Amino acid sequence: MFPSPECCDTCLNSSQIEMTMSAISSYSDWMSQLPVELHNIPLFNLAIPGSHDSMSYDLDKNSSIIEPDGLKKFSKLCCMRKIVRRWATTQDENITKQLNAGVRYFDLRIARKPNDPKPTRLYFYHGLYTRTDVETLLRDINTWADKHPKEILILALSHFKGFDRKIQRDLHNHLIHFIKSLFGNKLLPRKDSPTLKSCWDEGKNVILSYDYPVGQHPEMWGRIQYFYGNSMDPITVESKLCQYLEKPKPMKGFFVCGLNLTLPEDARILKYIIRLCDNFPNVVNRSLPRMLQWVKEQARKTPMNIIASDIATRDQFVYTVIQLNISKCETHKGI
């Protein structure tokens, strides 16, 4: 176990940290290049970069509007669908590029289109449906995982919108069977304290979080707690995250600190979406440097695990999160 975060300032040597970071030659394989001191600590104690609404780069402008409820009635208006896409796009790079950039946690929100002629075909969504279906995307991730066996991926499948009561059991069974068949032995079963080394030794590099009762499937992990600020104001987001992070946690496990900004779901949303020369990635890009500075400061006070962001491939987000691990390592050496 590492010493408390409060002692970091007195123990860290910034030149040592920079030297260690420079030794990481490629973020596509950053986990395998971490110092050996970090190989045996629980993954719950590592700082892991993640992307919020990971598939939102792929939204289909021809899709009907799924959310917010107040805009659904405008689905037939092409201009409104374009506005929704502009403000629902939280990522601007595809999953393979996110993986190559070092992102290791993926927020994958699943939905079924009503009246789809293929009854088990599923998509992702954020305001609109995606163009790419779930099985195609998971195959791409599996191909990447095959080529990077020491990079541990955490896939969080959730929401399952449109899973009507009559068919939801069949849909879940189909999806779970597909996942188990696709990833096979790469899936890490639920266990108390997985580490990088234990995953490598067992040949496992995919952790599948499934937000639906899956007790009979040991390869599936339960829902990962996701803390977020529910605001477009970075100061409010930081304040709420501090409150969450400073509360004692009842048990060991993964948890997400979401840096993402959140649009209002009521009429206040108009304040943002009527800005014809702006979009959501630009808003996030203006706030992200401040948020990353907050992450550095907060990591000295409270534990951090998965840190998820919008536009996760921009503005040194991945570098900042990985650097938290190097800081821990240097602190550990200094004690």
Catalytic residues: 52, 126
In angstroms, the Cα distances linking 12 to 18, 82, 236, 300 are 11, 48, 30, 11
Per-residue HEC secondary structure of the chain comes to: CCCCHHHHHHHCCHHHHHHHHHCCCCHHHCHHHCCHHHCCCEHHHCCEEEECCCCHHHECCCCCCCCCHHHHHHCCCHHHHHHHHHHHCCCCCCHHHHHHHCCCEEEEEEECCCCCCCCCCCEEEECEEEEEEHHHHHHHHHHHHHHCCCCCEEEEEEEEECCCCCCHHHHHHHHHHHHHHHHHHHECCCCCCCEHHHHHHHCCCEEEEECCCCCCCCCEECCCEEEECCCCCHHHHHHHHHHHHHCCCCCCCCEEEECCCCCCCCHHHHHHHCCCCCCHHHHHHHHHHHHHHHHHHHCCCCCCCEEEECCCCCCCHHHHHHHHHHHHHHHHHHC
Q: Name the token pair of 69.
A: 């409820």
Whether the Cβ atoms of residue 64 and residue 73 lie closer than 8 Å to each other: no
Q: Name the token pair of 129.
A: 């449906």
